[in-house]
Amino acid sequence: MKRVVITGAGTINALGHSVAETMQAMKDGHCGIGPLDFRDVDRLSIKIGGQVIGFETEGLFNRQQMALYDRFTQFTLMAAKEAIDQAGIVFSGELAARSGVVLGTAGGGVSTWDDNYRSVYEDGKNRVHPFVVPKLMNNAAASHVSMEYNLKGPSFTVSTACASSNHAMAQAFTMVQSGMAPAMVTGGSESMLCFGGVKAWEGLRVMSKDACRPFSLGRNGMVQGEGAGIFVFEEFEHAKKRGAEILCEVIGYAMSSDASDIVMPSKQGAERAIAGALRNAKLNSDEVGYINAHGTGTAANDKTECAAVAGVFGPHADRLMISSTKSMHGHLIGGTGAVELLACIMAVRDGVIAPTIGYEEPDPECALDVVPNEARDADVSVALSNAFAFGGLNAVLAIRRI
């Protein structure tokens, strides 16, 4: 079995257009959630979100590329560039032939669906642009990354709702760990902040109209975000030989399925994923110092997640820190695990724990150290990242300081 390290990271989300900006915002406890700005927002009852602002495609992509890139692909390419530039890796020859890209997204090109449905249904047009299908397909982002960086190995897209990125990164991890691929580009992206995307979510009545307050008494739901997080996972010796800067080591993961309900979370399913990740990474539970929670800010998720953490860690649950950065960047759905892994990297590499902001009052059903409102300095060598998706599909990753 090979050791797997992260040698590049990139992101764009409501907190920043780079990893440095995002981590600084997390340290500052900055809230990236604000009023949504897009067509027909006045017809929505949910009017807030973690929207990426100040993102100009002018000069980044040419006209032909713009005709093919949905916003979720644009985000992916921005983040991939940052990650691959940082890794300083050039894919050619045998390295290119064996390295691939595995990404997560729940919705793919949601705004492309939305714009074109609007055009044919509302505007009564009978013809759509020829690139609608290659633009909206869920694997478009992965394919464009593979084309841009000459990645010719195993490449595909994983779609497991809110756990998509974690499932994708778990796949990439096993490919590098097993020796199948020397390096993999992985992570995820989502862009559902358009009229149809938010309208669909409104239907479930799980969205907050004012703020995402995970673990806080009186929390009233999730807030959507958008963006991407992309990483370069690389075999340790390969990275060392190149003299690459190593951000952290990925040491294990687990996936589980609740096999119970299409939307309600399960304590047992979450416990099995967390405990499985500890076993897979050969960790004692007391080695874990920080967990980036799924922490959606819904009544059901947060208490179930806390119960699962308490169940797995026992007395150590009261000593570890667990925070939800969704309070700051919103829930990036299929891209969320990727952006949240940045908080885990910041914990083990920089010794800074991102806070759960918007925290007002303790909830006895969430009685853990949720790092309320202010970032904290702490010496943490191992962190977990939880993702528990609609459909009961769970994936938990473990990373370690190196």
CB of 127 to another protein, least distance (A): 6
Nearer to another protein among residue 53 and residue 133 (C-beta):
133
Integer Cα distance of 356 and 217 in angstroms: 13
CB of 294 to another protein, least distance (A): 40
CB of 68 to another protein, least distance (A): 9
Integer Cα distance of 63 and 386 in angstroms: 39
- Please report, as residue ranges, which positions from 67 to 106 form the binding site for another protein (by CB under 8 A): 67
Which is catalytic among the residues 167, 294, 306, 329?
A: 294
Nearer to another protein among residue 127 and residue 205 (C-beta):
127
Q: At a CB cut-off of 8 Å and minimum separation 6, what does 380 contact?
A: 289, 290, 321, 347, 348, 351, 353, 401
Nearer to another protein among residue 67 and residue 263 (C-beta):
67
Which is catalytic among the residues 144, 167, 238, 331?
A: 331
Nearer to another protein among residue 135 and residue 272 (C-beta):
135
CB of 130 to another protein, least distance (A): 4
Nearer to another protein among residue 67 and residue 204 (C-beta):
67
Q: What would the x/- binding string for another protein be over residues 320 to 359, using CB under 8 A?
A: ----------------------------------------
Nearer to another protein among residue 68 and residue 402 (C-beta):
68
Give φ, ψ of 182 to 5 degrees.
Answer: -70, -30
CB of 233 to another protein, least distance (A): 32
Which is catalytic among the residues 17, 31, 144, 162?
A: 162
CB of 64 to another protein, least distance (A): 8
Q: Strand 4-13 relative to strand 34-35: parallel, antiparallel, unpaired?
A: unpaired
Let me know if 329 is a catalytic residue. Answer: no
Nearer to another protein among residue 20 and residue 133 (C-beta):
133
Let me know if 238 is a catalytic residue. Answer: no
Q: Please, are residues 224 and 48 in contact by the beta-carbon 8 Å criterion?
A: no
Nearer to another protein among residue 132 and residue 378 (C-beta):
132
CB of 80 to another protein, least distance (A): 22
- Please report, as residue ranges, which positions from 276 to 315 form the binding site for another protein (by CB under 8 A): none
Let me know if 30 is a catalytic residue. Answer: no
Tell me the site size for another protein, rule CB under 8 A.
6
CB of 125 to another protein, least distance (A): 9
- Please report, as residue ranges, which positions from 116 to 135 form the binding site for another protein (by CB under 8 A): 127, 129-131
Q: What is the 3-state secondary structure (H, E, C) of the chain?
A: CCCEEEEEEEEEECCECCHHHHHHHHHHCCCCCEECCCCCHHHCCCCEEECCCCCCCECCECHHHHHHCCHHHHHHHHHHHHHHHHHCCCCCHHHHHHCEEEEECCCCCHHHHHHHHHHHHHCCCCCCCCCHHHHHCCCHHHHHHHHHHCCCCCCEEECCHHHHHHHHHHHHHHHHHCCCCCEEEEEEEECCCCHHHHHHHHCCCCECCCCCCCCECCCCCECEECEEEEEEEEEHHHHHHHCCCCCEEEEEEEEEECCCCCCCCCHHHHHHHHHHHHHHCCCCHHHEEEEECCCCCCHHHHHHHHHHHHHHHHHHHHCCEEECCHHHHCECHHHHHHHHHHHHHHHHHHCEECCECCCCCECHHHCCECCECCCEECCCCEEEEEEECCCCEEEEEEEECC
Q: What would the x/- binding string for another protein be over residues 44 to 73, using CB under 8 A?
A: -------------------x---x------
Binding site for another protein (CB under 8 A): 63, 67, 127, 129-131
Which residues belong to the active site? Answer: 162, 294, 331
